[in-house]
Structure 1
Amino acid sequence: MPWRPEHLAPFAALNADPEVMRHFPSTQTIEQTQASIDLWMCQFAQQGWSNWAVELKATGEFIGFIGLSVPRRVLPFSPCVEIGWRLARRFWGQGLASEGARACLQVGFEQLGLAEVVSFTALGNAPSRAVMARIGMRDTGQDFDHPALPEGHALRRHCLYRITREEWAKHLQDSLPTGTCVH
């Protein structure tokens, strides 16, 4: 869903939560949160896709973001398209990140024609790594030091996951109930 002005306050609260941001260098201010939204809205205007605001279908309540983006920094595996997510804590453990990420992969591969999508996180971020595995991504074993974090920072070392269009199609086929045919 497109970003709307009413998303700012709940997104800023999410970004100010130390538990939500424990795998990031710090929490974010409302100004930093607005800067992220502005960047993503600009990406939507330029390329037609970025990180989407996510609301619960049943209530319309803002819960976070999920989407595809081009990382701002040059990384060892650049150029690339990254899939990412960040949800408010009370929505963790409900399968919402996995559900949204699967939908983003579908958009990326079927509508945008991407050949590959990556995701990365601090090594200790087991919940995000679990989402990456659930959506069919594979750990490449190509851990790297994130260039935005100084040497010695506890979160500097990151893992890299990837999925190609072909791997996604196979994962999709393998996850269907027996006897289901995809055309």
Structure 2
Amino acid sequence: MTEIRTPRLLLRRWLPDDDLGPLAEIQGDPAVMRLVGDGAPRSLDESAEDIERWEEEWDDEGFGLFAVELLGSGELAGAVGLFVPDAPARVAGHIGIQWRLARQFWGQGYASEAAQATLEFALQDRGIDRVVAAAAPDDASSMKVLHKLGMTPTGEDGGLRLYAIDLTEFEG
């Protein structure tokens, strides 16, 4: 089982019986989901499908979205990880990074901490040399995380700002 420990977080594979309720609560929050996918909150069934899809990606690709757990409390804080986006066109088919955290964990550095560990995992454990990301122009928080990670703007597509990082130059 793939696990990564950071000073405050455990990034791990999904435990559907334990994680479904908390993930559904996170993904049911319109503020959390407004910039993810179509922007709609997800139901319990949709969250179950997400966990199933993410676990299949782990099995098929060797990477996926991690469950992000707080080390101190064991509480599920959200999801972060690697995926292969199908849009926008300029990043489709490349390996991307994304995250979503429960609102009560915003502004505490958890997204940066988890994303940094994910990029280190991509390079060191999976040999991935480039990762992309897309952010809505009004998503200042995500763009701040992308800049902290050392990702550089590469243009725009589909109304999103695109970023990339060459992990061979990554200073994790």
Q: Which structure has the highest strand share of the two?
A: 2
Deviation, 1:73, is: 4.5
TM-score, reference length from structure 1: 0.81
**Counterpart position of 2:140:** 126
**Counterpart position of 2:169:** 167
Q: Secondary structure at the match of 2:165?
A: strand
Contact 2:23 / 2:78 at 8 angstroms: preserved in 1? yes
Counterpart Cα distance in 1 of 2:61 and 2:34 = 31
Contact 2:33 / 2:41 at 8 angstroms: preserved in 1? yes
Alignment partner of 1:13 out of 18, 25, 30: 25
Matches within 5 A, 1:22-101: 22-24=34-36, 25-73=39-87, 75-101=89-115
- Structure 1 runs of 4+ aligned residues shifted over 6 Å read none
Percent of aligned positions that are identical: 34
Deviation, 1:127, is: 0.6
Counterpart of 2:156 in structure 1: which amino acid? D
When Rg is computed on C-alpha atoms for both structures, the one with the higher figure is: 1
TM-score, reference length from structure 2: 0.86
Q: Secondary structure at the match of 1:27?
A: coil
Gaps of 5+ in 2: 1-11
Deviation, 1:83, is: 0.7
Give the superposed CA RMSD: 1.4
Q: Secondary structure at the match of 2:68?
A: strand
Deviation, 1:74, is: 6.6
Kindly indicate whether residue 156 of structure 2 is the aligned counterpart of residue 143 of structure 1.
yes
Cα deviations across residues 103-141 of structure 1 (Å, max 9, x unaligned)? 00001011111110011121111111111111111111x
Counterpart Cα distance in 2 of 1:77 and 1:43 = 18
**Counterpart position of 1:148:** none
Deviation, 1:18, is: 1.4
Counterpart Cα distance in 1 of 2:133 and 2:67 = 18
Counterpart Cα distance in 2 of 1:74 and 1:139 = 15
Counterpart Cα distance in 2 of 1:47 and 1:20 = 26
